[in-house]
Structure 1
Amino acid sequence: MTTTTPSTGPALRLVIAEDAAVVREGMVGLLTDRGLEVAAAVGDPEALLEAVGRTRPDAVVADIRMPPTHRDEGLRAAAELRRRHPGLGILLFSQYIETSYAHTLLADGAAGIGYLLKDRVLDVDEFVAALHRVVDGGTALDPDVVARLMRARPTPGALTPREYETLAHMAAGLTNAAIAARMGISQRAVEKHTATLFDKLEIPRTTDTHRRVQAVLHYLECREYPESRKDAPR
């Protein structure tokens, strides 16, 4: 993910949901120090739903595994929040890579959705940048999650390895400039790969943000791929 500091503007208003009090308070401190406003910090899904309805934040940051079973309560709460509050940015995190979580989370669309591993929270610049992306209607998928998804759903034959690598980095939420730096090519080359894969995937020419979201959805939803390839970006 990009580590570019988001542009200045009104502070993002957040609700945090994490059942471990030490982690929860640590996140509140880190994000507050970076100028974000934490409207509420809670420890269970029911409190999360109530806090969002009461405080109307820009985004939610929530652990996927929360009480009472510590399985997917946070994920199910996120789905309910998307139903109740369209346009709410949702950034979920987990200690584990579970591709099924990503598929469930993105089933109704990738706009305004993020899924990061807990270790990624320690890089506060990346974490804050991810929050801004989901609030702006983009996606923020952890690079390790993307790599696992790629191994599970390898490249469609219509895309070249370079185009598919571009698509994978796009799924992680990187900008064209960040993709160029990651791949060691010019930004113009990235734009060419992006335009070509949009055409190959038959994604209509609407806004650039919408086309990127549709490309990510295609990447995650495609089922008729050949066997895994070795050119997946790490």
Structure 2
Amino acid sequence: MRVVIAEDAAVLRELMAQMLAERGHEVCAAVGDAQALRAAVAEHRPDVTVVDIRMPPTHTDEGLRAAIGIRRDHPGTGVLLFSQHVETRYATRLLAQGSAGVGYLLKDRVADVAEFVDALHRVGGGGTALDPEVVTQLAGANRHTDELTALTQREREVLSLMAEGRSNSSIAAALTVSPGTVEKHVAAVFGKLGLPPSEDHNRRVLAVIRHLQS
């Protein structure tokens, strides 16, 4: 993949760049602010960009605003947001444009290299990669809705894993159940939420995330 990294912490920025280069990916640019990020994406047209939410000069939402602009102006570029803490309002603003080619991870996930690279591959390929804690807090913010209260505990677990971007086989492995059991839970989730089931992975994640935002 061709990657642009935007992270104001120089050590973390260089660590990610080295880690990706060692695994055969091309790091087109590694920058420290949102303005440089926009310029790098316009110049290199990468497959995916890793974006810190809080960057200079105000360290508030410069990265988020740049990410939203990138998704609007360069729809073929995936965006993986990085944050020190879960900030559901920022996740919601990004996901409002759709979940295809979008990710949101906590920074400590970089320590698990395989998990980080897998998330980057998913986002770069047009999929979704959401930190489990992000999914939990998005769902928790809406846990009093009639639709969500209708779900069983196991169906909630399946819903959270679906929203992370996992396949049915991955969910089955995580929950130590059969793929057939997962398929039944998925069908029950969509039925109770009033959402039509689909074999298309990105569409089903989009449907789940939009429900969590509602």
Q: TM-score, normalised by structure 1?
A: 0.84
The reply on whether 1:189 has 2:186 as its aligned counterpart is: no
For residues 1-234 of structure 1, the aligned pairs below 5 Å read 12-154=1-143, 156-204=148-196, 207-222=199-214
Deviation at 1:110, TM superposition (A): 1.1
Provide the aligned length of Structure 1 versus Structure 2. Answer: 211
Mean CA deviation greater in 199-208 or 141-150: 199-208
Deviations 1:167-206 (A, max 9, x none): 1111122222221122221111111111232233343455
Letter in 2 for 1:47: A
Return the alpha-carbon distance in structure 2 between the equivalents of residues 19 and 64 of structure 1: 10
Are 1:204 and 1:211, in contact at CA under 8 Å, matched by a contact in 2? no
More helix by share: 2
Return the alpha-carbon distance in structure 2 between the equivalents of residues 205 and 18 of structure 1: 38
SS of match in other structure, 2:81: strand
Return the alpha-carbon distance in structure 2 between the equivalents of residues 205 and 136 of structure 1: 22
**Unaligned regions of 5+ residues in structure 2, if any?**
none
Q: TM-score, normalised by structure 2?
A: 0.92
Are 2:13 and 2:30, in contact at CA under 8 Å, matched by a contact in 1? yes
Return the alpha-carbon distance in structure 1 between the equivalents of residues 202 and 191 of structure 2: 14
Return the alpha-carbon distance in structure 1 between the equivalents of residues 104 and 181 of structure 2: 28
Deviations 1:30-53 (A, max 9, x none): 111112110111111011001001
Are 1:205 and 1:211, in contact at CA under 8 Å, matched by a contact in 2? no
Are 1:201 and 1:215, in contact at CA under 8 Å, matched by a contact in 2? no
Deviation at 1:139, TM superposition (A): 1.2
How has the CA–CA distance of structure 1 residues 164 and 192 changed in structure 2, closer, same or farther, with 3 Å as cutoff? same
Letter in 1 for 2:174: R
Letter in 2 for 1:99: T
SS of match in other structure, 2:174: helix
Return the alpha-carbon distance in structure 2 between the equivalents of residues 206 and 212 of structure 1: 6
Alignment root-mean-square deviation, CA: 1.6
Are 1:159 and 1:197, in contact at CA under 8 Å, matched by a contact in 2? yes
Return the alpha-carbon distance in structure 2 between the equivalents of residues 166 and 176 of structure 1: 9
Deviations 1:68-116 (A, max 9, x none): 0111110000000011011311001111111111111101111111000
How has the CA–CA distance of structure 1 residues 115 and 38 changed in structure 2, closer, same or farther, with 3 Å as cutoff? same
Return the alpha-carbon distance in structure 1 between the equivalents of residues 7 and 213 of structure 2: 29
Deviation at 1:126, TM superposition (A): 0.5
**Unaligned regions of 5+ residues in structure 1, if any?**
1-11, 223-234
Return the alpha-carbon distance in structure 2 between the equivalents of residues 116 and 21 of structure 1: 19
Are 1:97 and 1:145, in contact at CA under 8 Å, matched by a contact in 2? yes
Return the alpha-carbon distance in structure 2 between the equivalents of residues 170 and 213 of structure 1: 6
